Amino acid sequence: MDDIIEAIGIDSLETLTAAFGYVQMYIPKDPRAATKIITLIGPEKYHLLASVAGGCTVSLPRGQREFLKLRNKEIFSDRKSGLDMTDLSFKYRLTERQIRKILKNQTINEVFNERFNKDRAENS
């Protein structure tokens, strides 16, 4: 899923999920078989999508909760890449306070996962 988000962006992924309304979707390699997808996200993003998932069936997120998780991971990644709070707020249409809260929660989750994986490795 991260490859798809990186290729077409979370907004286009959300557009596809809203339009198709189901969890799994076949991504054709041939653009002639993908007219609805192209209409929704445009030919440029379709070609990017086909380059990473063409010929495959992909599982789309089911609802808003999954999109928020994906968006929050993307915000965290963008922050680690060097985007400042103002840029993140503009890009995701959120206040700086909301961005700080998301980053705090993502940091807590990352620390927990690192410790959990370390403990599992030591106990194996």
Last residue of a domain, one of 39, 62, 85: 62
For residue 43, what pLDDT is reported? 95
At 54, the amino acid letter reads G
Count of CB atoms situated within 10 Å of the CB of 123: 6
Structurally, how many domains does the chain consist of? 2
3-54 confidence digits (pLDDT tens): 888 889 878 888 888 888 666 889 999 999 999 999 999 999 999 999 999 9
Q: Specify whether 57 is located in the same domain as 78.
A: no
| Contacts with 70 (C-beta within 8 Å, 6 or more apart), sequence order | 1, 5, 10, 13, 61
Predicted TM-score (pTM) above 0.75:
no
Whether 73 and 111 share a structural domain: yes
Q: What is the pLDDT of residue 109?
A: 74
pLDDT at 60: 81
